[in-house]
Structure 1
Amino acid sequence: MLVAGAWLGAWAWDEVAAELRAAGDDAHPLTLTGLAEKSGTPAGRRTHVQDIVDEVERLGLRDVVLVGHSYAGVPVGQAAERLGDRLRRVVYVDANVPFDGESFLSGWPSEHVRASIEENDGFWPPPDADDCAGQGLTDAQIARILSGGTPHPGATLTEPAELKGSPGDLPSTYVKCLLDGDVPPPAVAALLDGERWDLVRLDTGHWPMFSRPGELARILRESAAADRG
C-alpha cells in the first residue's frame, strides 16, 4: 500500500507501482481524502488514518507493507498500529514519523505553514519550482509535481497523532534521501537504535518516486523480503 506525501495522490506512484507489478508484487497506491481526484474535501487526522485502514480492509489485504512518503508517514504510522496481524512492515520514505500527541508540524519552525493554511481557506498550497530545486529532479519531473499537486487539507497537518504504543514497536524501514539531508531527524535516529528498525540511504532527493522509481521499488521489495526470513 503506497501513500504519497502532501499535495500528491495515487498518481505519484505510477512508475514505482509499475516496477513492483512487473516484478510480481501487488501494488496499491492510495489517494487520501482532499487530494488529487478527491481534492477540495476537508479532512483531518482521523480522516487520513481511516482512509488507509478502510482501503486495506476493503481490498482484503494481509501481509501488508505500508509505505508512507513525507507527510504520509504520520497517518501511515498510526494506521499501521491498527492493522494488527495484517501488517508485515512499515516503510517511511523520507517521512515524518508519528508520535502520540504531536502533529506533522511539531518540532520544526512552522509559523509560515500555519499562516499559509489560514490564508488559503484551510488548505496548504502546493510547492513552486524553487521548492523542488536541488532534489535530483529533471525539469519534466518538477513540472509533473507542480501540475499534479493540489492544496493539502490543513487540519491533517495540525491535529496531533494518537498512538497507543511507540512507532518503534513495529518492524519498519526508514529510507533517507540524502539530497534532503544526510541524516534522519533525531527522533528517527533514536528509533533506528532499536531492534525493529532498519535504515536505507538513497542518493536522491525528497521525491524518489519521481527521481529514482526503480531504485525505490527495489528497496520496497527488499524491505518486504527481509521479513520473510
Structure 2
Amino acid sequence: MTVFVLVSGPFTDERIWNEVTGPLRRSGAEAHPVTLSREPEADLEAHVEDVVRLLDSLGPQQVVLVGHDYAIHPVLGAVDRRPERVARVVHLDAGLPQDGDSALALVPDPAVHELLGAGGSPGPVPAPGPAQWQRWGSTEGLSAQRLRLLSSLAAPQPPRTLTQPLRLTGAAAAVPTSGIMCTAGGMTVDAVEALVHTGPPQFRKLADPRVGFFELATGHWPMLSCPGELAEVLLRAAAGEGRRLTAPKGESPFLRPFLLDLPESPRVRNGRLDLHLPQMEAGQPACAPRPAVLFVHGGPVPPDLDPTPRDSPFYVGYARCAASLGAVGAVVDHRLHGITDYAQAAGDVAEAVELLRADPRVDPERIALWLFSGAGLLAADWITAPPGWLRCLALNYPILEPLPGWGAVGARFHPVGALRAGGAALPPLVLTRAGRETPPIAATVEKFLVAAEEAKTPVDVVDVPHGVHSFEIHDPTDESREAVTRAVRTVLGHLGVQPERVGGSA
C-alpha cells in the first residue's frame, strides 16, 4: 500500500487536500495531510518537527512525502532526518532549496520581503485575500468561488518559517524525487531540460534517473483547480513514473574550448578581477591607456564551482578576444550564488569596475559592460543611472526581469521596469539573442525589446537563429562564430576600436 504524506504551502493547512485525499484513498493508498504549526513564534525547525512526528507515528512502511511550494523546506528537512522512512519526495510546484537557503528566497511577493526585511521582530505575514493570491503564484483554473475558498482556509504565516535557513546534512541525497510543474506559472519540463543542457552545472543533477517530472496545465494550486488529475499524477509519481531528462555526455560543456581560435594574452589578477592585456603591453604600463570590456558571468552558480567563471575557457576566451584586438578584456568572479545574492553580486561588479578604471593600463572613460544570462538583471542599475564612462552595455541571452518564483530578487533588479521608467540617456545597447532560447527567458527579452521601442531606445540585436542559451559552448557552429564576431566588433566599435579580424575570422 502506498502511503502519502501531503504538506501544503504557506497560509494553508490539511483542509486544502480534501479533494485529493478521496481519490488517493479510493485507489487503495493511505493519505495523511499535515497541518503545520501556526503559532506566531513557530519557525522552520518547528515545521520540520511537525513532519518528522507524523512520519514517526505511521507504520513501518516507507512514505511518499509531498511538499507544495514553501512546504518543500520542512519536507526536505524531515527527509534529511528520516531518509529511511521516505520512498520518494515530490516537489509540487516547488523549488530546489539547498542547505542554508531560506524559504523567503522563493517568495514571489515583494511586499513580504519588505515586511520581513524591515528589522526588529515582524509579525506574522497576513493571509492573502481572494484578489491577492496571484501575487503568490498563478491562479489559473481557480474560479472566484475557489479563490474565496482558498482565503477561507488560510491563516497568517509565522515569519520565522520563511526566514530561518534550511539545514541539510546530505543524508537524503539517495532518496528518489519527482517534480510536478504547474505550467500556467511559466515553467515547463522542456524548460528544465534546457537548463540541464545549457544552464549552470548544478542543474545536471536533475538528469539523475531517480528523478521524474510531470506537468499539470493549471496554476499554482492544483489541489483546488484539478484535484482528480493531481491525485492521478501523485499515484504515477509514487510508482516511479515520470519523464526522465537527459544531460550532455562527458565533462561539463562549460569546460570546452572557446569557439574562436585566440592567442594567449598576459593576465593580471586583482582581487576578484582578472585583466587580460594586449600583447604589446606585457610587463609594462601602456603608453596610451586602452579601452576595456568587463565580462560579467551569469548565474546563479555554486560557490564551490571549479573552475570559477574567470578561469573557465568561456570567459577567458571572451577576454582574450578583446585583448587580441587591442582592448583590455576583464572578467570578474562575482558572488551570485542564489537569487537572493543580486545585491551582493552588484556590489562585486561595482567594485570590479572601480578597480578596472583605476588601472593605469585602462582608459577610465571608455568602458563597456558585457552581461551574460542571469547577470542580465544587474543591468537595471546601469540603465537607471548610467555613468558617462559607460560607452556600451552588452547582453548575451540575458534574463531581463525576474523569472517566475524569483520574487526574492526584488524590484531593484528589473531591467524592463528600469527601461520603462526612462529619464536617463543610455549608452548603446547590444543584445545577442538565441533563437532557441528557453521560453521563460525569451519572454523577458521580448518584453525588454518592446520597452526599448516604446522608450525610443535603439538596441543593436545580434540574432543567432539556431542558437540555444550559451550557444558559444553548446553550438560552436559557423553561425555562432559569426554572431560572436559581430557582437565583439559592435561593442569594441562603441569603444573606438575598429578591429579588422576577430579570432581569426574576417
Instruction: Give the structure-2-normalised TM-score.
Output: 0.41
1:149 corresponds to which residue? 154
User: Which segments of 5 or more consecutive residues in structure 2 lack a partner in the other structure?
Assistant: 242-506
CA distance in 2, matches of 1:43, 1:157: 10
Structure 1 residue 152: Cα displacement: 0.5
**Equivalent residue runs for 1:14-93 within 5 Å:** 14-34=18-38, 40-93=39-92
1:215 lines up with 2:219 in the alignment: no
Structure 1 residue 189: Cα displacement: 4.9
| Contact 1:68 1:76 (8 Å CA) reproduced | yes
| Contact 1:99 1:166 (8 Å CA) reproduced | no
Structure 1 residue 214: Cα displacement: 0.5
Structure 1 residue 141: Cα displacement: 1.0
| Contact 2:99 2:166 (8 Å CA) reproduced | yes
Report the secondary structure of 1:129's partner residue: coil
Structure 1 residue 199: Cα displacement: 1.2
Q: 1:190 to 1:156 in 2, by over 3 A?
A: farther
CA distance in 2, matches of 1:125, 1:82: 31
- 1:71 is matched by which residue type in structure 2? Y
- 1:160 is matched by which residue type in structure 2? P
Pick the structure with more helix per residue: 1
User: Which segments of 5 or more consecutive residues in structure 1 lack a partner in the other structure?
Assistant: 35-39
Moved more, 83-92 or 130-139: 130-139
Q: 1:122 to 1:97 in 2, by over 3 A?
A: farther
CA distance in 2, matches of 1:138, 1:200: 24
Moved more, 193-202 or 160-169: 160-169
CA distance in 1, matches of 2:210, 2:23: 27
C-alpha distance after superposition, 1:35-76 (max 9, x if no partner)? xxxxx4421111011100111102235210000001001110
1:131 corresponds to which residue? 132
**Equivalent residue runs for 1:111-190 within 5 Å:** 112-117=111-116, 121-133=122-134, 134-165=139-170, 169-183=174-188, 189-190=203-204
Moved more, 181-190 or 11-20: 181-190
2:329 corresponds to which residue? none
Report the secondary structure of 1:46's partner residue: helix
- 2:54 is matched by which residue type in structure 1? E
Q: 1:132 to 1:61 in 2, by over 3 A?
A: farther
Moved more, 134-143 or 189-198: 189-198
Report the secondary structure of 1:28's partner residue: strand
Moved more, 11-20 or 82-91: 82-91
Structure 1 residue 196: Cα displacement: 2.1
Higher relative contact order (CA 8 A, sep 6+): 1
CA distance in 1, matches of 2:205, 2:217: 22
CA distance in 1, matches of 2:8, 2:170: 24
Moved more, 42-51 or 187-196: 187-196
Give the number of the structure whose alpha-carbon radius of gyration is greater: 2
The percentage of aligned residue pairs carrying the same residue is 36
Moved more, 44-53 or 120-129: 120-129
C-alpha distance after superposition, 1:84-141 (max 9, x if no partner)? 2211000010013321011112267775213334699521111232333542111221
| Contact 1:104 1:160 (8 Å CA) reproduced | yes
| Contact 1:97 1:167 (8 Å CA) reproduced | no
CA distance in 2, matches of 1:206, 1:131: 13
State the number of aligned residues. Answer: 222
